[in-house]
Amino acid sequence: MSAARRPPREFPEMPLDAPELRRILAGFVRNEVRKVGGERVVLGLSGGVDSSLAAFLAAEALGPANVLGIRMPYRTSSRESLEHAALVAEAIGIEIRTIEITPQIDAYFTAFPDAAAVRRGNKMARERMAILYDQSVVWRGLVLGTSNKTELLLGYGTIYGDTASALNPLGDLYKTQVWALSERVGIPAPVVRKAPSADLWHGQTDEDELGFTYREVDRLLYLLIDERWEEDEIAAAGFAPALVRRVAGMVRRSQFKRRPPVIAKVSARTIDHDFRYARDWGC
């Protein structure tokens, strides 16, 4: 939907100002961490708005002393990202550490010098995941996820990389909602207002790469997913039909990223098919 194509009729918009959201999400973190006998979480701090908000909610839930933020820069990571991560950690009052990932990433790709940027980005995301899970043992804390609903629905993340975590307070918030809540709780403005980026190369932004803005796609996804509108109804509301088709296709094709691996059923009772327990069963 371009700016010129205003929706011809009213359609429901996602709520941006749920007054109890902060309390509910902090309550979720506190409940899910303490229920497994824990007190702490660890997360990757990228300097972006998602990890900043997740860190804030965890600090509110568990106390800042129980939250560890780790910066994991590669040599091409922007200086600004590192500074923003430090700014956020200071504002929230949590401990921050830095673990470089350049040596191991470069060592791996000496064998594949022609590897494309996507492969390199995925490898970095999985290296960061591996570091967080390793550090979680030493810190005795759960790995806190920071993927938002927009990324998860579009599949704009690395499977077993940034999408991997023990618990995720942001997975039911669209990016637009992450921004709104971040502003409300006082995440430093430069972090909230900058263009979202995976920071894999200089000048990269999510929205350039995706070919649409988060604000546009979030309104579309809200109708498609939350309000269960049909694709042609969304197009009739003023969204470009090609964009509607493309986004719906992205949601469908990335379903595998949101599910555990497929298991071939041969026995009478198979994990996830007819062996059905809540995750909390294990607490």
> Is position 103 an interface residue for other proteins (rule: CB under 8 A)?
no
From 23-31, 72-80, 119-127, 155-163, give the range in contact with other proteins by CB under 8 A: 23-31
According to the binding rule CB under 8 A, does residue 127 interact with other proteins?
no
C-alpha of 222 from chain center: 17
List 22, 27, 38, 246, residue binding other proteins (CB under 8 A): 27
Instruction: Decide if 257 contacts 157 (C-beta within 8 A).
Output: yes
Identify residues 30-49 at the interface with other proteins (CB under 8 A).
Answer: 31-32, 35
Stretch that binds other proteins, among 26-34, 60-68, 129-137, 241-249 (CB under 8 A): 26-34
Q: Are 222 and 10 in contact (CB under 8 A)?
A: no
Q: How far is the CB of 282 from other proteins (least distance, A)?
A: 10
Of the candidates 158, 135, 239, the residue with the CA atom closest to the CA atom of residue 146: 158
Contacts of 265 (CB under 8 A, 6+ apart): 273
Which of 112, 160, 256, 275 is the binder for other proteins (CB under 8 A)? 275
For residues 232 and 54, give the distance between their C-alpha atoms in angstroms, rounded to a whole number.
35
Cβ 226 to other proteins shortest distance, Å: 9
Q: How far is the CB of 35 from other proteins (least distance, A)?
A: 8
In the list 20, 103, 114, 259, the residue contacting other proteins (rule: CB under 8 A) is: 20
- The minimum distance between CB 49 and other proteins, in angstroms, equals 20
Residue 172 or 233: the one with the smaller Cβ distance to other proteins is 172
Q: In this structure, what are the phi and psi dihedrals at residue 20, rounded to the nearest 5 degrees?
A: -100, 5
Residue 218 near residue 206 (C-beta atoms within 8 A): no
What burial class does residue 16 get, using C-beta atoms within 10 Å of its C-beta: 0-12 exposed, 13-18 middle, 19+ buried?
Answer: middle
Residue 70's beta-bridge partner residues? 44, 97
19 binds other proteins (CB under 8 A): yes
Q: In the range 158-197, which residues lie near other proteins by CB under 8 A?
A: 167
Count CB neighbours of 171 within 10 A: 17
Cα separations (Å) of 103 from 1, 87, 266?
Answer: 43, 26, 44
Using the rule CB under 8 A, is 238 a contact of other proteins?
no
Our finding on whether 278 is near other proteins (CB under 8 A) is yes
Q: Which two tokens stand for residue 78?
A: 């922007």
Among 22, 28, 130, 185, binds other proteins (CB under 8 A): 28
Instruction: Give me the residues that bind other proteins (CB under 8 A), please.
Output: 15, 17-21, 23-24, 27-28, 31-32, 35, 167, 275-281, 283
